[in-house]
Structure 1
Amino acid sequence: MKNINNKKTHVDLRPNKYAWITTHYYLIAIFISFTYLFSDSIRVGVINATIMMFIVIDYLFKKFIGRNILINKTTLLIIMYLIYNLFSIFIGVINGYSISIGISEFSNGLLPIIFYFVGIEMDNYETSVFVKSFINSILFLVCVGVFMYFFQPSIYFSYMQRTIVNYYLGSYMAAPRMHSFTGSVVLGSLTCMALAFELSFLVYSKKLHRHIFLSTILLGSIILTMQRSAMVFGIANIILICIHTLKSKYISFKRIAMYSVIILVFIVIIFYLFPNLLEQLILRVSSMSNAINERNSNWNLVWKQGIETIGGSGLGTRGHRGMYISEITILDGNYFKMIYEIGLIGSILFINIILSVVTKGIKVYHSCVPYFSIVLGVLFQAIGSNTLGFQLVMPMFWFAIGRINFIYNSVKSTKHREEKNNEDFSNLFTTIPQG
């Protein structure tokens, strides 16, 4: 018995020499994406998917050896959702679509679910390293984007010609958006995620000048992407952190308001120096109300023919990869695309996951503000774009869900221990023999 215990202890405490791949995943993935600027022969998506697959295998191996798998309601729902999406690939094959379409969609939108499991098990130090690594990678992405936006080197035009449909290229050049090397939609999402963390650092960190500066850079970058959903996401981040400060003992609402004014002053200066940018922003904001109408042509198709089966038509069959193959393609609007592809079964599973996470997030809101902001922001963006299928966006989305689940369970177990201690303390007096 002694040998068994010693063996288990040895396995549990064994350091993981591959942990750096997980904690620095975003630095690796962003660098690999950066190489696409120079050559389109580099299969960025395949390489990043391979790295995630390695993280999956490493995680499963540790779970198999350690035998410490804990499954709660949210985790069970996610596993069921994952399994059904895998099954949905074969539904697509049965309907006559190539299996490569489903696999590609799975590697982009669902393989990142591994970061949910990473998120629920990371300790505070590992989480800190992961978040800082993420922010640094996004700052690099932003710096490259700002350089290309203002200086427009030849490599930038080459990249645009390779990644943007020729039909849109003229309008993009006439009213440029900041794309960096990921595209403006992905850049907007990632920048908003980084902003959520930087704003929370304003509350807890002592390096205020640094975080005010970085928050300003990130806000300015969100504006340069000219993505309406990203602008709303960024504003929501500010609102949620302001709500948090109302009950925070670390910083007053007055101070956070003062920091917000400083950031706004910097942004006003930018608009003063670049008046054309302000005109373009006003045009994009004024068209906000038309954003849904612009996508009605795709969404209406769903209501007419999309909900034709409970099981759906197959993962990825109605998105960009199914273009020119299927009669109906939904290019914008994740939820309607989801209903069409994985049917009511898969959609209900996803809705239950979100309801579970949002409920937990509300209950421990002041302990998980940045993660809660990220989840809500991405879910909002998915109304008008296929954000849930972006390979660079989804790892942080699922990681945030994992952290919310972890924080909720930690708070719940702490309360349980306190109640148990109080109960044991009171029982102490009732179990003492009376003399």
Structure 2
Amino acid sequence: MPLAAHFAIAPALLDLRGEFPALPEGWAYLDAAATAQKPRAVIEAIEQAYARDYATVHRGVYARSAHMTEAYEAAREAAARFINGRADETIFVRGATEAINLVANSWGDANIGPGDRILLTQLEHHANIVPWRMLADRTGAEIDVAPLTEDGRIDEAALIALIGPATKLVAVAHVSNVLGSVADIAKIAASAHAMGAKLLVDGCQAAPRLAVDVVALGADFYAFSAHKLYGPTGIGVLWVRKSILDTMPPWQGGGAMIDEVRFERVTYASAPQRFEAGTPHIAGAIGLHAAIRWVEGVGIEAIDAHERALLGIARAELSRLNSVRLFGPADSAGILSFAVGAIHPHDVATILDEGAVAIRAGHHCAQPLMRWLGVPATARASFSAHSTEGDVAKLVAGIERTQRIFG
């Protein structure tokens, strides 16, 4: 079926490219799973935060500092509301990597010991593997790994069977950053809690494209990064169930996270401030708030439908090309990894770049998953709210050109 025919039967697609000033005409940016481009509303909010409104927060008694503090805390309220959490459960961090490290070093050190078990899955990002490996190495805990189904989903039955009395934590990706497969978090949470284990969810790829309700999901910890959600780099969100958060000791020490400091004794602020040492990324929080407003204005369901429509078209077109191997389930969420015969993914990406198509190539910080797939790396196209039918057409044409070049 010609590409145009696929577009004719696709659901109504978003037309948002014009809101992204860093997207020049003719450039197909298909690397949103790494980082999303920023809409003008976010860029303007950050510019105004620095050029018009800037002052420190939580310290100054002058008016501008008070106003900036209100804006900073309004961003926390928005981030909490975006995932149906509460502001007093919501910590600002540098990103999801820091969020997971915070949990491992605070809750983990206080609750994990020799003989305890941590359950991960085969498809996790390194940020949801390495902190737990480090925790296991220093505490004597053990790590279990749940397998995948043939099409690249978490094998939930096998995962649930691995949860035992010694399992203290289950840590899973809501959406795989390589395969786009979506985990049944509510089902996993119920099984973990039935055995007394806690559940941490890496929501980096879910937050920009799925409606997230941490209460309905049953998560105990949920982490995501602003820069994948059309916001700035350097800031992210860690949500922790209040009953757990109140028991967690501080991780980093410094200003803003204390109650009283004496040389012989320190007392700490209540959560979430206890986990936000030092001057925060103030403009980053403002930018995140603007990104959340922008996403809510477009509609997360509309973004999800848009990405899935484009991904379906891309899968259909690429599957008809000889030697192209697609990874992951057909109903993946906005992310498509593939291989083109024996051509190295870096060569594929380089040739695509010559045709103004930007994709990711490599192991995607998921080396255990690459070994499971039996490849050193994959090429990955990831869609977003600003992706278009033209981007898909350029991707397909670029892969056809790659095949011709390599014979």
Q: Same fold (TM over 0.5)?
A: no
Q: TM-score, normalised by structure 2?
A: 0.29
Q: TM-score, normalised by structure 1?
A: 0.27
Please tell me whether Structure 1 or Structure 2 has the larger radius of gyration of its CA atoms: 1
Q: Relative to total residues, which structure has the larger helix share, 1 or 2?
A: 1
Q: Relative to total residues, which structure has the larger strand share, 1 or 2?
A: 2
